[in-house]
Amino acid sequence: MFRKLRTAFNARCILMRSFSVGELSKEHHEVQQLCRLFSERELKPAASTIDRNGAFPEEHIAKLAQLGLMRVTVSPSYGGSGMDMLSLSLVVEELSRGCGSTGSIVSIHNCLYANLLNRMGTDDQRDRFFNKYENHTIGAFALSEAGAGSDVAAMTTRAIKNEDGSWILNGTKGWVTSGIEAVAGIIFATVDPSLRYKGITAFLVDFDEGNLGGLHRGRPEDKLGIRGTSTCDLILENVRVPAANVLGTVGGGMRIAMEQLDRARIGIASQALGISQAALETAVEYAKQRTAFGGTLIDLPAVRTRIAEIATRIETTRLLVRKAACEVDRGLRATKACSMAKWVAGETATYAAHGCQQILGGMGYVKDLPAERYYRDSRITEIYGGVTDVQKSIVADQVIKELE
């Protein structure tokens, strides 16, 4: 039914140079259409059940892996599709349009684990971590802690070096997406709390199919939305990590995390965009059918105004998201663009989902229709990857620097 993505492209450079503000390239359009078809046929019919049961969409993830969608930006040498961030953004947007949970899993795995390992890992690290596990397996990204969310420098997870060069990790990482299913993870710890940012180091940790000594998973959080994803603590008790598993340099973890969060914010913004589009489509479809005041809701000026406002915000968001993705693909430091995209996309998702509920009225408040799920799923896009207030602060910092 679906053709594996990486067979559709001649070279990554074609994707990177052919995007314009007005339209997608042929290659990007193929990515978009493939994912839209998968979303319509596979995800939309299952989204309500995934949400209601809080069940990880294992079957769908396996199918997406067969299409090359679980290693979108990874080199073909390591089982990836070798595509760019704009392609990954389109993938996440279309999948999230069908199921916010599935879009979130694909986004975070690709943006925060697979892309980072492919981009920063040594040949040996990529070989060991990509080739050991099949494409459908999930990797985790463990940066946050209970007392160190936006304030990363407050991290307390410690890494102590042994005489043989290996490291011993102790601490608890919080809010780890797909922590239950993950087969490996990139875990951040400090080698010296007094060094603050300069002590933070990234470690590649192989969970060894759950057999890694000292690694324990906390209970899954019972969340408002994206209920098909697992979110849990990772508890580290004298976890031994080989010296060869340091990602980048000792003390270089903060820079790695911040650069990767730029990419993650494109993924989150794309997720928000997909939810927004789904909310708009649901609202219009319902308004065309629902009769009131001698006609249909779609004829009422108040409803039409709400639809216009939602649609305009979505188009604005889409331009910001694609601009950010293209800046990353061109090798630019896209911090401002990524934070703008995430900030506006998250607010747009909440706005669109709220507007959808208002148009549906009572039917927007019950689980018979997806409007209430859109609202619950949208809320996280203003929270994880840095809350909206943090994104505004980042944007302000970047603008002030530009104007100095």
Per-residue DSSP letter, 112: I
The per-residue pLDDT for 19 is 47
Q: Cα–Cα distance between 267 and 224 in angstroms, integer? A: 20
Render pLDDT for 289-315 as a digit per residue (tens, 0 to 9).
999 999 999 999 999 999 999 999 999
Among 274, 251, 172, 255, smallest CA distance to 217 is for 172
Question: Whose structure tokens read 């759950």?
Answer: 210
Distance from chain centroid for Cα 196? 27
Q: What is the mean pLDDT of the chain?
A: 94
332 exposure class (CB count in 10 Å sphere: 0-12, 13-18, 19+): exposed
Q: Cα–Cα distance between 296 and 268 in angstroms, integer? A: 35
- The length of the chain is 404
Render pLDDT for 360-393 as a digit per residue (tens, 0 to 9).
999 999 999 999 999 999 999 999 999 999 999 9
User: Which helix (H) or strand (E) element contains residue 252?
Assistant: none
Cα→Cα distances 400→149, 347, 396, Å: 25, 23, 6
The per-residue pLDDT for 10 is 44
The pLDDT-based confidence of 69 (bands split at 50, 70, 90) is: very high
Could you tell me what percent of the chain has a pLDDT over 70?
95
The per-residue pLDDT for 150 is 82
The tokens describing 382, both together, are 């203003």
| Residues 6 or more apart in contact with residue 169 via CB below 8 angstroms | 157, 158, 159, 187, 189, 203, 205, 214, 236, 238, 239, 240, 241
Render pLDDT for 16-27 as a digit per residue (tens, 0 to 9).
444 455 589 999
The per-residue pLDDT for 5 is 60
Q: Cα–Cα distance between 89 and 72 in angstroms, integer? A: 10
**Bridge-based pairing state of the strands 215-217 and 231-241:** antiparallel
Render pLDDT for 110-164 as a digit per residue (tens, 0 to 9).
999 999 999 999 999 999 999 999 999 999 999 999 998 888 888 999 999 999 9
The pLDDT-based confidence of 3 (bands split at 50, 70, 90) is: low
Handedness of CA 156, 162, 167, 168 (dihedral sign): negative
Q: Cα–Cα distance between 311 and 198 in angstroms, integer? A: 44
Contact between 304 and 332 under an 8 Å Cβ cutoff? The reply is no
Contact between 328 and 87 under an 8 Å Cβ cutoff? The reply is no
Sequence letter at residue 351: Y
Q: Cα–Cα distance between 94 and 97 in angstroms, integer? A: 5
Phi, psi of 168 (to 5 degrees): -115, 120
Residue range 174-179: average pLDDT? 97
268 exposure class (CB count in 10 Å sphere: 0-12, 13-18, 19+): buried
Q: What structural domains does the chain harbor? A: 26-132 (1.10.540.10), 139-250 (2.40.110.10), 254-403 (1.20.140.10)
Sequence letter at residue 352: A
Residue range 50-66: average pLDDT? 98
Q: What is the dihedral of CA 204, 208, 211, 213, to 10 degrees?
A: -30
The per-residue pLDDT for 148 is 87
Phi, psi of 55 (to 5 degrees): -100, 135
Contact between 341 and 317 under an 8 Å Cβ cutoff? The reply is yes
The pLDDT-based confidence of 208 (bands split at 50, 70, 90) is: confident
**For the chain, what is the radius of gyration of the CA atoms?**
21
Q: Cα–Cα distance between 314 and 206 in angstroms, integer? A: 40
Q: Cα–Cα distance between 185 and 176 in angstroms, integer? A: 10
Cα→Cα distances 323→175, 186, 316, 363, Å: 29, 28, 11, 36
The per-residue pLDDT for 357 is 98
Cα→Cα distances 38→95, 135, 375, 381, Å: 8, 18, 23, 23
Distance from chain centroid for Cα 306? 28
Cβ count within 10 A of residue 30: 17
Phi, psi of 230 (to 5 degrees): -95, 140
